[in-house]
């Protein structure tokens, strides 16, 4: 995980998860807690290239 707090209090976070499947699968689901996330803005989730490294995924860090 890579996190950066901006001067205005915004938090930018990068997380890189690797899943290894045994058998036939076509995806997975990740739940981000059960709390109220009404303050979350600009959430993005995407598949990155093989062998991606944290800190080199986005351009905002």
CA distance 10 to 19: 29
Predicted confidence (pLDDT) per residue in 11-53, tens digit:
888 888 878 888 888 888 877 766 777 777 887 777 777 777 7
The string over 12-34, giving b where at least 16 C-beta atoms fall within 10 Å of a residue's C-beta and e elsewhere, is eeeeeeeeeeeeeeeeeeeeeee
- What per-residue confidence (pLDDT) applies to 8? 92
CA distance 52 to 48: 6
Domain total for the chain? 1
Does any domain span residue 1?
Answer: yes
Domain that holds residue 11: 1-20+42-61
Band of residue 2 on the pLDDT scale cut at 50, 70, 90: confident
- What per-residue confidence (pLDDT) applies to 58? 52
Does any domain span residue 34?
Answer: no
Band of residue 60 on the pLDDT scale cut at 50, 70, 90: very low
Does any domain span residue 27?
Answer: no
C-alpha pair distances (Å), 9 with each of 12, 18, 56: 10, 29, 23
Does any domain span residue 55?
Answer: yes
Does any domain span residue 35?
Answer: no
- What per-residue confidence (pLDDT) applies to 29? 82
Does any domain span residue 60?
Answer: yes
Does any domain span residue 3?
Answer: yes
């Amino acid at each position: 995980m890579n996190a950066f707090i901006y001067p205005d209090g915004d938090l930018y976070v990068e997380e890189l998860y690797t899943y290894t499947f045994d058998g036939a699968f076509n995806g997975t689901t990740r739940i981000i807690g059960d709390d109220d996330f009404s303050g979350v803005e600009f959430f993005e989730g995407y598949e990155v290239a093989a062998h991606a490294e944290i800190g080199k995924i986005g351009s905002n860090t």
